Amino acid sequence: MRWLLLTLVALWSVLTVVAYTVILPESRASEPVIAAYFAVGEAPGHPEAAAFIEAFRAYAAARPDLPPLAEGRLSSVAQMPPADRARWYEAFRAFDADRPAPVLADYPTLVWSTDDNPARRTQCDLFRQWHLRTYGTPADVVTDPSNRDITKTVVQCVAGAGPDIIEVFGPAELGQLVDAGVAMDITDVARADGFGIDTVFPAVASSISRDGRQYAYPCNVGYTVLFYHRDMFRQAGIAEPNESWTIDDLIEASKRIVGNPAVPSNPRFGFMNYGAWDAALAAGGRWFNEDGTAPAYHSPLTIAGFRAYRDLMYHHGVMPTPAQAASMAASGGSNMNAGAEAASASALFASKGIAMTVGGRWEYVALARRNLDRVIRPAAERRIATLAPGDPQRELLTTALDSLTRDVLVPISDAQFAALEAALTEADRDQLVQLGVAHVPTLTGQPYYSVAARSAVANRASPRADAAARFLRFLSSREYNAQINSTFDSICGVPAFCLGEDGISGPPHPLPGLEAFDSPVFAEAVFSHAHPWQLSPFIGQGRLGAIAGQVMERLTADEITPEEAASLIDQRVDAQMRANITRDAGLRAEWERRTGVTFDPGIPLRDQVKRSTAPESDGGAP
Amino acid sequence: MIGSARGRLLIAMAFLLPNLIGFLVFTAGPIVFSLAMSFTDWALTKHNQFSDAPIRFVGVQNYHRLLVGDESIFFWDYFGNTAYLMIGIPLGIAGSLVLALLLNARLGPTAPRNRATGAIVAAVVGLAAVAGAWMLTTPGPAPEVPVMSTESGLTDLSQWELARLRSNAAVLAAAVLTAITVAGMAIGPVFFRTIFYLPSLLAGVAMFLLWKTLYKPEGGLINAGLRPVLASVHDMVSHSPPVMWKGMGLGIVIATGLLGARALAVGAIKLRHRDCGIAAFLGRIAITTLFALVGIGVGMVVMNLPAMASASPDGFDPPEWLVSRAWAKNALILMGVWLGIGGGNMLLFLAGLANIPPELYEAGDIDGASGWNRFIHITWPQLAPTTFFIVIMSTIGGLQGGFEQAMVMTQGKYGTTVLAYYLYNLAFTDQFQLGLASAVAWVMFGMIFLMTLFNYRFGSQMTNE
């Protein structure tokens, strides 16, 4: 027995050594870079890369043992069987090793703290190709999905072990990195290379900059619009939402849909996934005055928004309370953070359990899979069963299903799309999610979107900081932004790439029922109605969330009135800001600079600001 | 004796050093370091390799902020949550004791042949129950065009899929019960001890995720079980005269009061006759108060049942557990009691029970002591040192605990943020205030220290009595 155990341990050790020395050799790490050389083979874009590829072509021509290229194109290597592809890679390595300055010997490999998914892998490929075309030299990037948490990232970076490129969500997280000194100031290089603040949507400028200095570039822009089931509106005999829809219209429509025997899917609620903050901002409320020196929660507009939110749940009953929403969540439903509630709302919307929700373009994949799995595939398979082998329609349907089953984001041809549509019967169409998209209704009828960007920051302490800055430049490229748009990864951060063939209405064509994902509403929202997040440098976002969270729990449970909620938040935020300013001499100087008055820790900031010559905030206290 | 004293010392040190170095570097060092940190304004975002700003000594400012300053509104709120959650500790200890007593008793057949017979009978009955559950609940073939279920909590499932899911759950439940009964019959109490200890072997997060699912207000197993019970109660209350419920409730309140008064009177008499010490008397007051509060609460609820039934004509709603301010803390307490009953405390009580000399019980039998008297006058006093140890450890654990539950189950919402979760948030999510977070840790230490001193002062006195 003892010998058996020892043998097993020895075998395990040997296998580990073999894995690290033979199965996972260092040379394999260069494969993505070689693939990038092959991918740009026909259009290298940069003289240095062009010269290198030309020399390699000559070398390869003298190697009759290499598998032939399709139409002589190096890019066809990617489509070859793995064994053939490996031979080309090996040939590339051999060619490179004989050169006086091998390109594979030393190139930067960036670590990007982001999730690992097919879209990200494509983006990494695009970066390698873009870098070759733009700079003529290789660079690699790998994702690090296990270190995405901003807390972890900050600790790693200040300890000198952080990723080269850090993913941040919104101005608050960016602020943490800037405060910690981790974020690299790219203002000058961005201006010189044409990816400055002026190239992004104005509303997301605060997601990439602070005090006029640029530290990041948007990966995409996050916001949500109104999603509704067109079939439910049709069945209930209600006109679909338009741009001037208000909260009252939404309430009316919800009441006419829920419990209506003409709506066979029998949704439980009319609307979901809408927060008190959304309602207050859309009503014109503010969190802080213009220069962020005093809280402004206690205003008639904020209170009106809070009241509208509460009434949607408790007065009109058209929206689930947070407890009801949580109880309906598929994930167990007790930690209803924004993500969990959004996921719950998406799942309920997809199953027609609610008539309307707010959602983003990223939900295309889930809805497309739902329509594909539930309706389109069964319908197409029924149709295929009726067609004779060799029938062109059968071929179209089979190939379309194969492609979509692998990845719903892979574009299918117009003929395939038409064949799928033709396979759907009226009964099938009733089962589809028939999506409608409109602006989120507000109290005023004027759409309002509080938007922020998911952006990338270069780690100031990275030994590859220059390459990281080049990666940020890549985020402003046409290739990257077209990929964001075509994979329904929200919407790109660069207005110039949002419209047209590469824009959000470009390919692929959404699956039947989901044509609204090409709706102009998405572009209008960010072009015409987007606003940045409201922040104050005198209070951290985490503390703001803790204070507001305590109070909002009581509002959403209907324990306190909207007036009391607004007043409580205002008082507590004011007290916290004063405590922060009192403790920090730098903050105090900044506050006094902005307001022009001497700070007094004993007087509420709102009252102190009134004495200043600075512009007054909105509405004021009721 | 080998070698000189110096040599023996060196050898001893060689053996002790690895552990000592580990303790100094990884335990004592960080403790001292955190104490020093608590007197500074160290914030990781402001004081790091990228910043020239020096870390300032701020004296007791952090402690002042926590106890009476701008942080006090959070600190005392979260301290209140922590203290509230500790209500479950005595319940868990009592549950552990009851379980240990049950598992210590000789349950079921002891002769191997009888065990085998019992197991076979249980297996036959159980298999019949499994087959019955399968036959009664399995849905027919799936319809060609699925009809989607609109039941919330289980989204995007067709009605047929939902029926199949329920059938599987019923069959699984019957099969698990059968397996446990058969194994219990065959193996005996050791099997049940193992089964009850199993939750302690599972990772906390896994248990919390399981409970989170059980607690789902809709689609969760607990409310699924409560709904028919509440519907029956509602039906019963609606179809009976309200005065009956008011009388019953009043009866419970009065009975509770009388029992409580009797317990206190007996305690006072014992104290007067020096049959017990002041510590035991204080303990009796505490337990009586808890008992009275529960009894009066139940009585009040019973009295108000008719009014509640008329206010909810569609039936009583089951609790919203983790997603309501009224229930979230109680839900965590219930879960904590369940987790605590079958864990280490049960093992300690079992060990304590095994150490009680059997002569004491034999003497009790000779004197004609009843089962209750045997427990009160032999078992309970003999278990006092074990109970004392468990109380101390549970109190310490209660003040330190609650972090995982808050993190995994509620994210600190609905009044479930405890001091440990608050500390984490200060240190890592709210501007990385390491100095302030260290102060929280030391205030917690102070509280635990005082509580432990109190326990030692009065608890050890009770143990000696």
What average pLDDT values come out for chain A (622 residues) when binned by 10 residues? 85 83 63 95 93 95 94 93 93 94 92 91 96 96 91 90 94 90 96 96 94 95 94 96 89 95 90 90 90 94 94 92 71 42 76 91 91 93 93 93 90 90 92 94 89 95 95 96 91 90 80 92 93 90 87 87 96 94 92 94 91 50 34
Residues of A in contact with B425 (CB under 8 A): 542, 546
Compare CB distances from A353 to B155, B324, B428 and report the shortest one's residue: B155
Residues of A in contact with B155 (CB under 8 A): 328, 330, 344, 347-348, 350-351, 353
Average the pLDDT over B4-26 and give the result. Answer: 92
SS3 state of residue B41: coil
Average the pLDDT over B3-14 and give the result. Answer: 89
Residues of B in contact with A576 (CB under 8 A): 70
Predicted pLDDT of residue B158: 75
Other Cβ atoms closer than 10 A to A517: 21
Question: Do A180 and B148 lie within an 8 Å CB cutoff?
Answer: no
Per-residue confidence at B107, pLDDT binned at 50, 70, 90?
low
Kindly identify which residue of chain A lies nearest to residue B47, measuring between CA atoms. A180
Residues of A in contact with B69 (CB under 8 A): 579
> Would you call A194 exposed, middle or buried from its count of C-beta atoms within 10 A (0-12, 13-18, 19+)?
exposed
Residue B303 Cα, gap to closest chain A Cα (Å): 25
Question: Do B323 and A427 lie within an 8 Å CB cutoff?
Answer: no
Question: Between B110 and A257, whose confidence is greater?
Answer: A257
Question: Do B216 and A334 lie within an 8 Å CB cutoff?
Answer: yes
Residues of A in contact with B220 (CB under 8 A): 327
Mutation target among A168, A334, A578 for the B interface, most CBs of B within 10 A: A334
At B181-199, the pLDDT tens digits run 899 888 888 888 888 888 8
Mean pLDDT, chain B, integer: 88
Residue A464 Cα, gap to closest chain B Cα (Å): 17
Predicted pLDDT of residue B442: 97
Joined together, the tokens standing for residue A429 give 């169409």
Residues of B in contact with A371 (CB under 8 A): none
* pLDDT at residue B429 is higher than 90: no
Compare CB distances from B218 to A328, A336, A572 and report the shortest one's residue: A328
Residues of A in contact with B431 (CB under 8 A): 176, 179, 540, 542-543
Residues of B in contact with A575 (CB under 8 A): 70
Contact predicate A360/A490, CB 8 Å: yes
Residues of A in contact with B154 (CB under 8 A): 330
Predicted pLDDT of residue A622: 33
Question: Do B152 and A327 lie within an 8 Å CB cutoff?
Answer: yes
Question: Do B48 and A180 lie within an 8 Å CB cutoff?
Answer: yes
The HSE-up count of residue B294 (CA atoms within 13 Å, CB side) is 10
Question: Do A180 and B213 lie within an 8 Å CB cutoff?
Answer: no
SS3 state of residue A295: strand
* pLDDT at residue B153 is higher than 80: no
Question: Do A160 and B49 lie within an 8 Å CB cutoff?
Answer: yes
* C-alpha distances out from residue A60 to A33, A88, A495, Å: 18, 9, 43
The rounded distance, in Å, linking the Cα atoms of A84 and A61 is: 16
Where do runs of H (alpha helix) occur along A209-336?
A: 230-236, 247-257, 276-282, 300-314, 322-327
Kindly identify which residue of chain B lies nearest to residue A353, measuring between CA atoms. B150
* pLDDT at residue B34 is higher than 80: yes
DSSP track, B119-170: HHHHHHHHHHHHHHHHHHH---SPPSSPPBP--TTSTT-BHHHHHHHHHHHH
The rounded distance, in Å, linking the Cα atoms of A335 and A333 is: 6
**ipTM greater than cut 0.85:** no
* pLDDT at residue B275 is higher than 80: no
Residue B408 Cα, gap to closest chain A Cα (Å): 8
Average the pLDDT over B57-68 and give the result. Answer: 95
* pLDDT at residue B357 is higher than 80: yes
At B294-313, the pLDDT tens digits run 899 999 999 999 999 998 88
Predicted pLDDT of residue A612: 64
Strand partners, A454: A169, A220
The rounded distance, in Å, linking the Cα atoms of A375 and B86 is: 52
* pLDDT at residue B216 is higher than 90: no
- HEC states along B389-409? HHHHHHHHHHHHCCHHHHHHH
Residue indicated by tokens 């349907």: A397
Joined together, the tokens standing for residue B243 give 């005065």
Question: Do A154 and B44 lie within an 8 Å CB cutoff?
Answer: yes
Residue B96 Cα, gap to closest chain A Cα (Å): 28
The HSE-up count of residue B70 (CA atoms within 13 Å, CB side) is 21
Chain A and chain B share a number of CB contacts under 8 A equal to 146
The rounded distance, in Å, linking the Cα atoms of A13 and A18 is: 9
Question: Do A180 and B217 lie within an 8 Å CB cutoff?
Answer: no
The rounded distance, in Å, linking the Cα atoms of B348 and B57 is: 46
Question: Do A351 and B410 lie within an 8 Å CB cutoff?
Answer: no
Question: Do A268 and B156 lie within an 8 Å CB cutoff?
Answer: no
Kindly identify which residue of chain A lies nearest to residue B65, measuring between CA atoms. A579
Question: Do A327 and B216 lie within an 8 Å CB cutoff?
Answer: yes
Average the pLDDT over B112-126 and give the result. Answer: 87
| CB-based burial, A379-404: b 16+ in 10 Å, e otherwise | bbeebbeebeeeeebbbbbbebbeeb
| CB-based burial, A289-299: b 16+ in 10 Å, e otherwise | bebbbbbbbbb
Predicted pLDDT of residue A616: 46
Predicted pLDDT of residue A331: 45
Question: Do B153 and A181 lie within an 8 Å CB cutoff?
Answer: no
Question: Do A353 and B145 lie within an 8 Å CB cutoff?
Answer: no
Average the pLDDT over B430-455 and give the result. Answer: 91
Joined together, the tokens standing for residue A395 give 């071929």
